[in-house]
Amino acid sequence: MVYFIAFLSFGVQAAGLVGSHGIVPFENFLKAIRAEFGGSAWRVVPTVVWLAPKDGTLTAVWVLGCIAGIVAAMGKWQRPALAACLVFWLSICAVGQDFLGFQWDALLVETGFLAIFATLSPVRILLFRWLAFRLMFFSGYVKLASHDPNWRNLTALHYHYETQPLPNPVSWLMYQLPMAFQKFSTGLTLASELVVPFLFFLPRWWRGWAAWIMIGLQALVFLTGNYTFFNLLAALLMMWMFIGPERLPKLTALDIALPALVGLLSVLVCLAQLSIPLPPGGAAILHFAAPFEIVNSYGLFAVMTTDRDEIIVEGSNDGTNWKAYEFKYKPGALDRAPPIVAPHQPRLDWQMWFAALETYQQNRWFVNFVVRLLEGEPAVTHLLAYDPFAGTHPMFVRARLWRYHFTKFGEKGWWTREFRGEYIPVVSLK
């Protein structure tokens, strides 16, 4: 069902994001990859879209992915359906460029790979627990390894509710709570991520408590933010803590090959993430395996963002009177409540959050986005909540940076803001 959510969420945005008239057309991307890598292009970008790099093929991929997800959830032809889901989802991730580089996209590939071979074999159950361990432990490790003062002094969550990519109304409420509570909850989060995962490998009683703690943590994150299907997928991984293995008469060849492959790659990934030198040939193995994403590194919010800057994009026909484009989910109008949108992921709105942390020169996709607005491209404006030039296109577009703050109890609206400066200058198609 997580596969179904992921495919459908991407599908309704695909044309505007990576379609032939989208922000970063995947056809141009594949042409560039083929020109650079020639016959090995399929290995660098493993996607079935190579068979016919057209919009219709991409549509077929996500639609068939939805169908395969439903078939798998119904319990019939489950392994072939899960294999199809994996191939189709990896194919989308491979051509998604800036819009499909999130950790949960890779987590779905890795979990989906293991799911194809899932049985009650002790070895295969252990692989799921090992994945859950890496996901949760390294989420805590990166917070301390970054030396970010806000995690070390336990104030990180005070900033998190306001500065996370897409807050919701509960985020606003949590932001109002006293600092003592914020420090307590930050400490609890770190303990949950750094200590509890070690219980995953203990007897069932301990594993059960560990699983419930992690499920509770994911439920709280889900309630206080819009993190797509990530929290659901992470919570479902915890189900493997309650499952007891069957005693099998003997190990199969797959019971040996599968953990050998996953074990080798995950050890190399862990060594790299811990900044420990890799053994000879280790870097080459990781480089070869990286495009297939069957083992990945994890760790969210290593450094806590303490200020929220938002890019406000505006258009004009005379260079004097400017009208703002309103996005569907990211903060814009000060009186609009933060939305509840998970498990759907509005990927343009998410990328706007990352773009505000850098310059437009570091986000080439944003330049393409501005060009599409100047062209009045329907596939792209469909991703917005409000296009002030619907049916036509502006002569000029600009983007300005504003610093947003949550209001306090008793204040009007949900946000206040202050002008920070120009993000991209006034531009036209000329």
pLDDT on residue 121: 87
As a whole number of angstroms, the distance between CA 234 and CA 236 comes to: 5
Distances (CA, A) of 303 to 8, 62, 135, 148, 187: 31, 34, 17, 6, 15
pLDDT band at 252 (very low <50, low <70, confident <90, very high): confident
Give the number of C-alpha atoms closer than 13 A to the C-alpha of residue 348, restricted to the C-beta side. 26
Q: Tell me what pLDDT residue 248 has.
A: 66
Q: Where are the alpha helices (DSSP H) in 290-390?
A: 347-356, 364-375, 378-381
Query: Average pLDDT, stretch 391-397?
Result: 92
Element (H, E) at 424: strand 415-427
- Token pair of 32, please? 């560039």
Closest Cα to residue 362, out of 372, 351, 373, 371?
351
- Indicate the burial class of 61 (C-beta count within 10 angstroms; 0-12, 13-18, 19 or more): buried
What percentage of residues in the chain have a pLDDT greater than 90? 93
pLDDT (0 to 100) of residue 59: 97
Cα first-last separation, the chain: 47
What number of other Cβ atoms are within 10 A of residue 16's Cβ? 23
What does the pLDDT look like over 220-240, one tens digit per residue? 999 999 999 999 999 999 999
pLDDT in tens, 350-378: 999 999 999 999 999 999 999 999 999 99
Q: Could you read off the pLDDT of 141-190 as tens digits, one per residue?
A: 999 999 999 999 999 999 999 999 999 999 999 999 999 999 999 999 99
pTM: 0.95
pLDDT tens profile 72-95 = 999 889 999 999 999 999 999 999
**Long-range Cβ pairs for the range 112-117 (8 Å, 24+):** 112/3, 112/82, 112/85, 112/86, 113/86, 113/294, 114/262, 115/82, 116/79, 116/82, 116/83, 116/86, 117/254, 117/258
pLDDT at 149: 96
CB 119 within 8 A of CB 175: no
| R_g of the chain, CA atoms, integer Å | 23
Are 218 and 234 spatial neighbours (Cβ–Cβ below 8 Å)?
yes
Report how far residue 108's alpha carbon sits from residue 293's, in angstroms, rounded to the nearest whole number.
Answer: 9
Is there a contact between 319 and 397 (Cβ–Cβ < 8 Å)?
no
Residue 115: CB atoms within 10 Å: 19
